[in-house]
Amino acid sequence: MLEKLFKLKEHNTDVKTEIIAGITTFMTMAYILAVNPNILSAAGMDKGAVFTATAVASFIGTMLMAIFANYPFALAPGMGLNAYFAYTVVLQYGYSWEIALAAVFIEGILFILLSCFNVREAIFNAIPLTLKHAVSVGIGLFIAFIGLQNAKIVIGGSTLVSLFSLEGFQGLNGGAGTFNDVGITVLLAIIGVIITAILVVRKVKGNILWGILITWALGIICQFAGFYVPNPEIGFYSLLPDFSAGFSIPSLAPVFAKSEFAEIYF
């Protein structure tokens, strides 16, 4: 059945090869399941619901690509637009995430129409190569800056890009914060970046995901050893999974069909 559906022999492959390739691809991009909810929750969206939506959307997109295009591409929410959505449209411009979500929905419909009439391809080809590279670099730097802020490696200040210091963090948070919460978090973040960079350079499959998991494991060790002490009042929570309420898939209800079109103007 798989041979008939996907024409494996015609593409010089087999089921085993495709399964290994699929697992490798998943390991490479699974970090989105952790990163996307963290970014969109900053806009006020429910983190659990976003996690489920990310998984479902990735599954549907990848299946459609496989069934209709027979193309070995995995699709998932991309980094860049989600950060712009949360930190610029919602937090900076002041729109609610419901209104921003409606705008994204309309943008998606327009994008599909442009693709159907080959307008999207014409626009893409008209953009100079240097500008394409610049846009990619700019988005990467933007996401990196957000990551540095969330890890507290970069904190606010007169220039908004001050490097972390315990005194500086305490000054911005009413004296709250110690080495055992924010300090160890910064150290773990730096160690995690170094570990991930080494894995990427050595071309280890699933390097980003492994970097996340290893850093998380180090954090758990630090918590058990007493080096890291959770402080929920300033946003530093326990790193240990909590299954006291059982295991369940978060509901989509908090975000599903919550787009608000009333404030969208054309």
Tens digits of per-residue pLDDT, 28-56? 788 888 889 988 998 899 988 999 999 99
CA distance 137 to 194: 20
pLDDT at 160 over 70: no
pLDDT at 266 over 60: no
Where does residue 20 rank: exposed (0-12), middle (13-18), buried (19+ CB within 10 A)?
exposed
Least confident of 21-25, 52-56, 181-185: 21-25
Look at 265 and 114; give whichever has higher pLDDT. 114
CA distance 152 to 135: 26
Show me where the domains of the chain are located: 152-235
Q: What is the pLDDT of residues 168-178, one digit of tens each?
A: 888 888 888 88
User: What integer is the mean pLDDT of 130-136?
Assistant: 88
**Which pTM value belongs to this model?**
0.70
Amino acid at residue number 210: W
Dihedral through CA 68, CA 70, CA 73, CA 76, nearest 10?
Answer: 20
Kindly report the number of other CB atoms within 10 A of residue 126's CB atom. Answer: 7
Query: What rounded mean pLDDT belongs to the chain?
Result: 85
Dihedral through CA 264, CA 114, CA 28, CA 218, nearest 10?
Answer: -20
Q: How confident is the model at residue 71 (pLDDT cuts 50, 70, 90)?
A: confident
Is 181 within 8 Å of 4 (Cβ atoms)?
Answer: no
CA distance 66 to 75: 10
Predicted confidence at residue 245, as pLDDT, reads 64
- Among 118-122, 131-135, 234-238, name the most confident range: 131-135
Sequence-distant (≥ 6) Cβ neighbours of residue 96 within 8 angstroms: 44, 90, 260
Largest CA distance in the chain: 66
DSSP designation for 77: P
Least confident of 106-110, 192-196, 240-244: 240-244
- Both tokens of 190, joined, read 């730096």
Give percent above pLDDT 70 in the chain.
94
3-state secondary structure of 36: helix
CA distance 99 to 119: 27
Look at 245 and 70; give whichever has higher pLDDT. 70
Q: How confident is the model at residue 27 (pLDDT cuts 50, 70, 90)?
A: confident
pLDDT at 112 over 90: no
Predicted confidence at residue 263, as pLDDT, reads 66
Three state DSSP letters for 61-78: HHHHHHHHHCCCCCCCCC
Q: What is the pLDDT of residues 93-103, one digit of tens each?
A: 888 999 999 98
Q: How confident is the model at residue 159 (pLDDT cuts 50, 70, 90)?
A: low
Burial 67-91 (b: 16+ CB within 10 A, else e): eeeeeeebbbbebeebbbbbbebbe
Phi first, then psi, for residue 163 (nearest 5°) are -70, 155
CA distance 25 to 266: 40
Q: How far is CA 201 from the centre of its chain?
A: 21
3-state secondary structure of 104: helix
- Nearest CA-CA partner of 186 in 160, 202, 216, 164: 164
Q: What is the pLDDT of residues 9-20, one digit of tens each?
A: 777 777 887 887
Q: What is the pLDDT of residues 199-245, one digit of tens each?
A: 999 988 778 878 888 999 999 999 999 999 998 888 888 888 777 66
- Taking the CA atoms of 234, 236, 238 and 242 in sequence, report the sign of the dihedral they define: positive
pLDDT at 22 over 80: yes
